[in-house]
Amino acid sequence: MIDGTWEPHPATRWEDAFLSGNGRHGAMVYGDPGDDRVIVNHHSLVRPNGSEDLGPPELAVRLRRVQVALLSGDVKAAEDFGTERPLTWVQPFHPAFRTRIRRRRGLHEAVAGYRREVDFTSGEVTASYEAWRSRVFVSRADDVIVQHVTDPGLIADVVLDHALPGAPARLAVSRATVLTPDGAHLALRLGYPGSGLGYTGVTVARVDGGSVSVSGEGIRVEGARSLTLTTRVTRAPGRPKLTDLWAAVPHEDYAGLLNRHRPLHRTAYGRAAFTLRDAARGREPAGSELLRSPGSPALLERLFAAGRYHLLSSSGVLPPRLTGLWTGDWDTAWSGAFTTNANLNLQIASAPAAALPEVVEAHSALVHGQLEDWRDNARAVFGARGIVAPSHTDGESGHTRHFQRAYPLHMWTAGADWLLHPLLEHAEATTGAPDEALTGALVEAALFYEDFLDREDPRGNLAIVPSYSPENRPANASWVTVNATMDIAAARHALTTAATHAPGHPSAGRWRALAARLPEYSVNEDGALAEWAWPGLRETYDHRHLSHLYPVWPLTAINPYDTPAPAAAAHRALELRGSENDSAHGHLHHGLIAARLRDPSRVSAALDAVLGGDFFHDSLMSAHYPSRNVYNADAAHALPAVVIESLVQSTPGRLVLLPAVPAACPAGELRGVRTRFGAELDLRWSEEGATALLRPTRDARVDLRTGDGLALDGDEAARTETSAGIPSAPLELTAGVDRVLTLRPR
């Protein structure tokens, strides 16, 4: 099994529940014949906590004093800048409720004949035992969660149960049940404590045969052949009429709803695939069994497929949260927010290359929906035009609010460039250029730097001050400093990118001039790319974030081909970097950078750390820490990106094949990759060489590079040159004309 996973027993923990989603609604399926529970999630469900109307504080009038002090050597000058406000987290994400179909005491261990399965190609979760069968999916066509249970002579109690872990004691709860000729309509209204806000869940229950009666807080079904529940959540102001909500839920049978949904999901999921030659013999075991064999090629295959499936399923109206689209507990770590200074970009890193435009469109919706708030941040905190992105958002407000002496995330100015870059990569892979909306956002990012960059260092270079490298600090200074490498990279990229894509803008020339005056990156006494390009600041190497390697990944401003000396310094920085608290995102971020720097051993080590660290639940959703500690989607969603980057990399003018093949992938096939020069690519490789099929959608001239020990075969081989010690061959691609490349061992 590649495109799915299975277990021989029901889930007993919500973390092990199989997942389905359409980017708006999410379902967590336990698959227990006796107590068939489905936790209902919705991307919009965030609990008011007093932060929803907070704007950024007016700090700009005090900014110049802080800048002068930092530039004069006061390493603690910004410690109190903005920290007068109490630390306020964004509104926490939470589950809606769970549907329960209770027949008898549940199964708590594996029993003969039981099977629970999720099909990644359809998004359908099934469970069966004896004559009982449950099927669940979340419809892309109709935006509902659909559950269908068959069992001859079914006798069961059905209820919408709000009592999930961490639910507030003062949650306002009201219910409604109306019997219908073929079943019943159920509703659950929940109001947040101390707030006039809340949400409503409605379920249409339809039975085939038997009878339905009101029973307690739900209904009782007796003697039915099957039962179908169709559920939808609405978070809207006021109290929408239940009759209208019930009427809006589709009343079709399960097969009809599934047939409308399946092509939409299957088309998206099936665009790309990854298989390993040595995995065939190990594909049958349950996911939990595979997880006990971290070196199994079949495990890497399945986790790649699961990562794409979960990423697609959690992206729609919004991109994935820290928990994707799912949680079974109201007390979500870090509010279940979108943490934007690392986690969100790592989760969606594979989307442009792995042919998931749905994910990029969801990210675009988040970004463009918050630009007005980002403008407020730039004006209030920095006294500038343009945009500054927050480090955390609940999906509603984009105002920066995380003001704290330790982790002063309000001082992070690189966020807009960092968050816009995945949109730029997608534009390059599809149309070749950003659209009007993205171009406008790129211009606003440059306008911020045009206003903000008004300080100089003693050499006459522009100084970025205040500056912050998420979420690290120098060993001998406070958190907020001068010239964090990530900030330099973001400023240079934002200015040059805006000038490139908006050449007619009145400030385009000024942007280029500002970019030319930014400081160069610094190499420290260890020969490593320094995290801060400012004299006297000492490194803190043991940290999970790798913010200072932003020029390597994803920007490629530092790479082994055009900038070999800075690339060597970046590689030294990677060698010296510790893993701090073993956060999964740190390991996989390390792997992405190692792939760009052509280091297969470090890519392998990063994958080994995650596969062997007990990071994955039986659901194949991941945890933030080893030993399955803290439900978190970072590892699950970022793993496919590491695999792809180790095998194929592209820029608008370059293709790199097999740059850093990990030890776990000696031979296999990667199909459906989208390149940033507008071609779809299928790749097969083994110890004997490799074959790549390119299907260009537009004309392109591309610099081809290959991994160590490989050479281009055929007519192109005669044109191969060497640059920075790495063979290079120019490729001319014509739209609509397929091109086959053959690589052989040197």
> Read out DSSP for 522-554?
-B-TTSSB-SB-STTPPP--B-S--GGGTTTTT
CA 485, 491, 497, 503 dihedral sign is: negative
- Condensed to tens digits (0 to 9), the pLDDT of residues 223-241 reads 999 999 999 999 987 789 9
Whether 715 has a pLDDT exceeding 60, the answer reads no
- Condensed to tens digits (0 to 9), the pLDDT of residues 510-540 reads 999 999 999 999 999 999 999 999 999 999 9
Q: Tokens 């969603």: give the residue.
A: 637
Q: Dihedral of the CA atoms 591, 595, 597, 599 (nearest 10)? A: 80
Q: CATH 3.40.50.80: does it fit domain 4-46+93-264?
A: no
> Which pLDDT value is given to residue 434?
98
Integer CA distances (angstroms), 596 to 263, 566, 676, 683, 739, in order = 35, 13, 15, 18, 24
| 709/730 Cα distance (integer angstroms) | 19
What DSSP string runs through 411-440?
Answer: G---HHHHHHHHHHHHHHHHTSS--HHHHH
For residue 110, what pLDDT band results from cuts at 50, 70 and 90? Answer: low
Residue range 448-473: average pLDDT? 96
| 656/637 Cα distance (integer angstroms) | 23
| 377/59 Cα distance (integer angstroms) | 10
Is residue 448 within 8 A of residue 416, CB to CB? The reply is: yes
Residue range 25-30: average pLDDT? 98
Percent over 90 (pLDDT), the chain: 91
For residue 719, what pLDDT band results from cuts at 50, 70 and 90? Answer: low
> Which pLDDT value is given to residue 107?
60
Whether 105 has a pLDDT exceeding 90, the answer reads no
Residue range 559-585: average pLDDT? 97
| Cis preceding linkage at 474, omega within 30 | no
| 620/122 Cα distance (integer angstroms) | 17
**Angle at the Cα of 569 from the Cα atoms of 568 and 574, rounded to 5 degrees:** 95
- Condensed to tens digits (0 to 9), the pLDDT of residues 252-288 reads 999 999 999 999 999 999 999 999 999 988 999 999 9
> Which pLDDT value is given to residue 462?
97
Residue range 109-132: average pLDDT? 92
For residue 570, what pLDDT band results from cuts at 50, 70 and 90? Answer: very high
> Which pLDDT value is given to residue 231?
98
Which amino acid, residue 299?
A: L
DSSP H or E stretch at residue 704: strand 700-706
| Cis preceding linkage at 471, omega within 30 | yes
Which are the contacts of 462, defined by CB distance < 8 A and separation ≥ 6? 453, 455, 456, 514, 517, 518, 519
Which amino acid, residue 140?
A: R
For residue 717, what pLDDT band results from cuts at 50, 70 and 90? Answer: low
What DSSP string runs through 10-57?
Answer: --SSGGGSEEEE-SSEEEEE---SSEEEEEEEETT-B---S-TT----
The token pair that represents 43 in the structure block = 């991307």
> Which pLDDT value is given to residue 108?
58
| 8/157 Cα distance (integer angstroms) | 25
Q: Which spans in 597-705 are helix H?
A: 600-611, 634-647
**HEC secondary structure over 236-291:** CCCCCCHHHHHHHCCCCCHHHHHHHHHHHHHHHHCCCEEEEHHHHHHCCCCHHHHH
Whether 40 has a pLDDT exceeding 90, the answer reads yes
> Which pLDDT value is given to residue 406?
84
> Which pLDDT value is given to residue 270?
98
For residue 714, what pLDDT band results from cuts at 50, 70 and 90? Answer: confident
Closest CA to 633 of 291, 265, 349: 349
Mapping DSSP to helix (H, G, I), strand (E, B) and coil, where does residue 222 land? strand
Is residue 307 within 8 A of residue 314, CB to CB? The reply is: no
- Residue 715 burial (C-beta neighbours within 10 Å; 0-12, 13-18, 19+): exposed
Is residue 593 within 8 A of residue 549, CB to CB? The reply is: yes
Whether 718 has a pLDDT exceeding 60, the answer reads no
The CB density around residue 257, as the number of other CB atoms within 10 Å, is: 21
Whether 34 has a pLDDT exceeding 90, the answer reads yes
> Which pLDDT value is given to residue 716?
61
Whether 104 has a pLDDT exceeding 80, the answer reads no
pTM: 0.97
For residue 391, what pLDDT band results from cuts at 50, 70 and 90? Answer: very high
**HEC secondary structure over 107-150:** CCCCCCCCEEEEECCCCEEEEEECCEEEEEEECCCCCCEEEEEE
| 658/649 Cα distance (integer angstroms) | 8
> What are the CB-based long-range contacts (under 8 Å, 24+) for 372-380?
372/398, 373/397, 373/398, 373/399, 374/398, 374/416, 374/444, 375/444, 376/55, 376/56, 377/56, 378/448, 378/451, 379/60, 380/55, 380/56, 380/57, 380/58, 380/59, 380/60
For the chain, what is the mean pLDDT? 95
Residue range 65-77: average pLDDT? 95
Residue range 52-65: average pLDDT? 92
- Condensed to tens digits (0 to 9), the pLDDT of residues 638-693 reads 999 999 999 999 999 999 999 999 999 999 999 999 999 999 999 999 999 999 99
- Condensed to tens digits (0 to 9), the pLDDT of residues 142-191 reads 999 999 999 999 999 999 999 999 999 999 999 999 999 999 999 999 99
> Which pLDDT value is given to residue 86?
80
Distance of CA 141 to the CA centre of its chain: 23
